[in-house]
């Protein structure tokens, strides 16, 4: 049975707090927690499963925080959340069946493109703009695709959802951030259901990290609601770039 020393547990709890804070604002919390779990010596499958446990709590906390401020109607997102859950579950179940090598090579390119887009695109602020897809079509096409990816691989899911809400749903930066959280929670939960069978998450560690995730997500959501696009954009650019660099380093 895998055991962790107290100092490693405290390190992982601190990483979860930082991840919850970052994830509530711009996504990319897994950039912090997954490497931390693996550095602690936890086998990869178990690390990914444990990450789903604690990550789900952070996403749920952020979703509730934004909903309380009226930035998202969680009841109106129930259908999209159900689709995201199914997509995350399907993606996780297909991990062993679908070759992901090509996707791993494309991911850094996509993430850097997202970073450049949010860094250089003029007029990206908290104001809504013309939408290109109806809510129904967005739920039927974009949501299951990104949720499936979340279950299959996961890195950058928040950034991809943000891009979809900004470019296709026409949302401002803060509103887009708010709308990603319930969907990210649902796809996380779907992935967790599948990973729990094969990855055997460390439930107690996941619960301890979840408490820290909740605290970090609460603080991050409050800061994002206070400052808006001025903090969300640079943090999204930074996390997307760092995640791309980490993926390139892994490949090399």
Q: How confident is the model at residue 177, as a pLDDT?
A: 95
CA-angle at 188, arms to 149 and 154, nearest 5°: 35
Q: How confident is the model at residue 2, as a pLDDT?
A: 59
Non-local CB neighbours of 34 within 8 Å, separated by 6+ positions: 47, 48, 51, 155
| % pLDDT > 70, the chain | 99
87 in a domain, yes or no? Answer: yes
240 in a domain, yes or no? Answer: yes
Non-local CB neighbours of 97 within 8 Å, separated by 6+ positions: none
| pLDDT value at 1 more than 60 | no
1 in a domain, yes or no? Answer: no
Closest CA relative to residue 66, chosen from 189, 175, 195: 175
Q: How do residues 109-134 score in pLDDT, each as one tens digit?
A: 888 998 899 988 887 889 898 899 99
31 in a domain, yes or no? Answer: yes
199 in a domain, yes or no? Answer: yes
151 in a domain, yes or no? Answer: yes
* Residue 100 binned pLDDT confidence (cut-offs 50, 70, 90): low
| % pLDDT > 90, the chain | 57
Whole-number Cα distances in Å, 51 to 34, 100, 130, 195:
6, 20, 36, 10
234 in a domain, yes or no? Answer: yes
Q: pTM, whole model, 2 decimals? A: 0.88
Sign for the CA dihedral angle at 199, 203, 205, 208 comes to positive
Closest CA relative to residue 26, chosen from 120, 163, 130, 150: 163
Q: What is the spatial distance between Cα 7 and Cα 21, in angstroms, rounded to a whole number?
A: 21
Q: How many domains does the chain have?
A: 1
Residue 18: CB atoms within 10 A of its CB come to: 18
| pLDDT value at 184 more than 70 | yes
**Residue in the block written with tokens 């949302």:** 171
170 in a domain, yes or no? Answer: yes
* Residue range(s) defining the domain that contains residue 133: 6-251
């Amino acid at each position: 049975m895998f055991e962790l020393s107290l100092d490693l547990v405290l390190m992982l709890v601190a990483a979860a707090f930082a991840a919850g804070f970052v994830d509530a604002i711009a996504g990319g919390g897994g950039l912090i927690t997954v490497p931390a779990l693996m550095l602690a010596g936890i086998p990869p499958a178990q690390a990914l499963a444990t990450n789903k446990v604690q990550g789900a709590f952070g996403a749920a906390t952020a979703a509730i925080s934004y909903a309380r401020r009226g930035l998202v109607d969680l009841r109106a997102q129930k259908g999209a959340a159900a689709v995201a859950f199914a997509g995350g579950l399907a993606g996780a179940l297909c991990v062993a069946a679908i070759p992901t090598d090509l996707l791993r090579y494309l991911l850094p390119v996509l993430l850097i493109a997202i970073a450049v887009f949010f860094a250089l695109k003029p007029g990206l602020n908290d104001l809504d703009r013309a939408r290109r897809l109806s809510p129904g079509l967005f739920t039927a096409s974009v949501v299951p695709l990104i949720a499936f990816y979340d279950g299959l691989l996961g890195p950058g899911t928040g950034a991809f959802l943000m891009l979809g809400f900004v470019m296709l749903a026409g949302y401002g930066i803060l509103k887009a951030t708010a709308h990603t959280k319930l969907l990210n929670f649902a796809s996380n939960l779907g992935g967790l259901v599948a990973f729990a069978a094969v990855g055997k998450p460390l439930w107690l560690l996941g619960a301890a990290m979840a408490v820290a995730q909740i605290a970090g997500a609460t603080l991050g959501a409050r800061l994002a609601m206070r400052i808006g696009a001025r903090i969300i954009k640079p943090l999204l650019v930074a996390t997307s770039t760092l995640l791309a660099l980490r993926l390139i380093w892994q490949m090399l």
